[in-house]
Amino acid sequence: MSRRARARGLLLAVPAVLALLGGCTARAGAEGGAGPASAAPAPSGTPLPSGRATPEGTLLVADFGADTVTFVDPRRGPVGSVAVGTAPYGLAVGPDGLAWVATAEGVAVVDTRARTRVARIPYTTGTGPVGTGEYRGGDMGIALAPDGSRVYVGVNVPGGRGVLEVIDTAARAVTATVPVGRRPFDVDVARDGGEVYVTGHDSFDGTVVAADTLAARRIEVAPYGTGGGLGSWLKPHYAVVRPGDGRLLLPFEGERLAVVDPRGSTVAVEPMTAGTHQHGAALTADGRLLVVGTGAVEEGAGPSLTVRSPGGEERVYPLDGPHEDVAVSPDGRTAYVTGGYTRDGYWNGLTVVDLADGTTRRLPAGTRPLGIAVLR
């Protein structure tokens, strides 16, 4: 029986209210959201000794199970942390060394070279009391404009549509908001900076936002259909922008790759081979697509990392236990896969994967590490 048929049968057999208890489904219970946060003027963290800076190649992870980001030496593990706000999710780092971290209390700004928080920007969307967990209110996906002038952050509003908040990086303030899809897992920006793409997990869609006018339009991304609604597992999670043609790549279930043309509002589907529920995605400099497999929903293969060439050929490397997101070394030889995972089964570390042969090693890395970046 195909995954689509199995999933359809499961959704027909299980009431939607029970499906809401699944980690990748709709909001579960009273996990709480986040309300407007007050600005945090006092810096936090322990600065490095005078004359020293964080080395290039250090990893920065968002500690979704705590209120910190952790700096990780890719050879020996954690080397420091900085308090940023409750349940940090995604992060983006600019060439100036500033990291913009999405938390339940607003966007924290961290000087990664000195290892200190220099600001926290409250978002303007009201989402209830500060909470933790996958369904918390507050910032989720986050991305920087190519010129560094803006930060775009997706804000989850429990029980309603998400909001894209636009931050002026010089003023360190929210300057605009745009309604988008439900639970904005991921935010990406076109390579020319002209458009912003928001992945709406619970609304089976991507929202294309024009960077100049902030006009928005919805594209449904549902290669398995939308049956099951909020209770469905077959939803979009993370996307990447493909070099060359600017199309968005969104993996589903290790079976289908949705290829979205944001300008033509069309969706094509290509086959994938991992046969596992998929979350985080990243691109290497030479165009290989890396996709994190979290494990089977009902039947199928276990956790893995897919390495897909621009021509569509795939290698699937098994991983030990669930993972969530992935980053790649500047030389394209090594992948770093976080163990935070948005559902049960997460662990406090990451897996280092040799992309040439698939050999792996585990490394401690903060508390439920989710978003990740390699500092340069």
**CATH value at residue 312:** 2.130.10.10
Q: Is residue 279 part of a domain?
A: yes
Q: Is residue 32 part of a domain?
A: no
Residues contacting residue 42 through CB under 8 Å, at least 6 positions apart: none
CB atoms within 10 A of CB 344: 8
Q: Is residue 186 part of a domain?
A: yes
Confidence of residue 38 (pLDDT cuts 50, 70, 90): very low
Q: Is residue 31 part of a domain?
A: no
Q: Which domain holds residue 63?
A: 40-374
Q: Is residue 171 part of a domain?
A: yes
Confidence of residue 22 (pLDDT cuts 50, 70, 90): very low
DSSP 8-state symbol, 166: E
Strands 116-121 and 106-111: antiparallel
Q: Is residue 203 part of a domain?
A: yes
Q: Is residue 22 part of a domain?
A: no
Q: Is residue 264 part of a domain?
A: yes
| 8 A C-beta contact, residue 216 and residue 166 | no
> Domain count of the chain?
1
In the prediction, which pLDDT does 53 show? 79
Cα radius of gyration (the chain) = 19
- Enter the pTM of the model: 0.89
Closest CA to 211 of 231, 223, 197: 197
Q: Mean pLDDT, the chain, as a whole number? A: 88
Confidence of residue 24 (pLDDT cuts 50, 70, 90): low
